[in-house]
């Protein structure tokens, strides 16, 4: 093993990340048989109450889902988990919640991976002879992360895009017997992620992508939200990425949820 190889092997395999907004997706099905038993006036009253409350919830968007996986999806972007909890409780207090059956939910935080910065800062610290995980190492890493948080603040704390359509799905990196993303060297993962990112950047004018991390928070490792005016862009982007090494070899995908944005004042119309 060469000296450079020995140094690389001693460095942490985990890429640095910076985190921002806390995110909760709530998927729900309307209990239509029970809803229909209410008088039209009561349905309108309950819907109006929900419309007013949701309209006053900054950082919350409502979507009408397509398909059998639910009727509504609420997406909440908040400062932290405590605020997400308050948003969830506010929804639960609505009379409309008596007629909504949860079908799924997803908890995560906006996450930006820093493969490029990780390689550079790890290499610089190793060149200075600073031991991984020492106090000096931790100070240098935190200084790097703080600079990145400031530079990337708009991406870490985004508003929910106003696009007409949303596509949400969770995903993992494979950890099976034949391939294991987490056993690949940092340099190889960095290269593959750079190639992966090039595809997304080609769609920058057509789709807005927000990646959230959920390791330790939910059943999958990441959540992906795509926002666009034309839903066909979801198919084209994701199909093209299927041929990318990161997706073709290492990616596993969960269920996809596609919905249309609904303004709170129009909620009664879809109920």
Catalytic residue annotation: 169
**Residues 166/70, Cβ–Cβ less than 8 Å:** no
**Residues 103/167, Cβ–Cβ less than 8 Å:** no
The 10 Å Cβ neighbour count of residue 10 is 11
CA 191 to chain centroid: 22
**H helices within the chain, ranges in order?**
3-10, 32-37, 40-55, 81-93, 115-127, 135-151, 153-156, 186-202, 232-242, 245-250, 267-270
Residue 97 is classified by DSSP as G
Cα separation of 263 and 245, whole Å?
Answer: 39
Query: Widest CA span of the chain, in angstroms?
Result: 78
- Dihedral over Cα of 262, 218, 115, 187: its sign: negative
**Residues 172/220, Cβ–Cβ less than 8 Å:** yes
Please give the C-alpha separations between residue 30 and each of 27, 126, 146, in angstroms, as whole numbers.
10, 57, 44
């Amino acid at each position: 093993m060469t000296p450079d190889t020995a140094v690389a092997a001693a460095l942490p395999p985990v890429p640095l990340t910076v985190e921002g907004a806390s995110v909760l997706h709530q998927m729900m099905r309307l209990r239509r048989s029970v809803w229909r038993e209410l008088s039209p006036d009561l349905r309108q009253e309950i819907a109006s109450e929900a419309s007013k409350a949701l309209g006053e919830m900054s950082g919350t968007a409502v979507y009408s889902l397509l398909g059998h996986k639910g009727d509504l999806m609420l997406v909440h972007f908040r400062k932290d988990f405590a605020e997400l909890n308050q948003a969830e409780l506010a929804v639960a207090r609505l009379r409309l919640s008596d007629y909504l059956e949860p079908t799924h939910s997803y908890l995560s935080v906006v996450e930006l991976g820093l493969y490029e910065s990780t390689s550079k800062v790890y290499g610089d610290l190793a060149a200075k002879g600073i031991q991984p995980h020492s106090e000096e190492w931790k100070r240098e890493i935190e200084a790097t992360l703080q600079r990145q948080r400031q530079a990337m603040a708009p991406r870490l704390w985004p508003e929910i895009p106003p696009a007409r359509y949303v596509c949400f799905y969770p995903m993992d990196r494979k950890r099976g017997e034949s391939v294991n993303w987490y056993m690949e060297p940092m340099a190889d993962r960095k290269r593959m992620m750079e190639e992966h990112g090039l595809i997304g950047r080609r769609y920058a004018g057509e789709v807005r992508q927000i990646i959230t991390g959920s390791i330790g928070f939910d059943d999958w490792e990441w959540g992906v939200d795509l926002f666009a005016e034309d839903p066909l862009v979801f198919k084209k982007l994701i199909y093209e990425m299927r041929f990318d090494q990161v997706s073709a070899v290492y990616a596993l995908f969960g269920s996809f949820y596609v919905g249309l944005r609904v303004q709170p004042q129009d909620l009664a119309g879809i109920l």
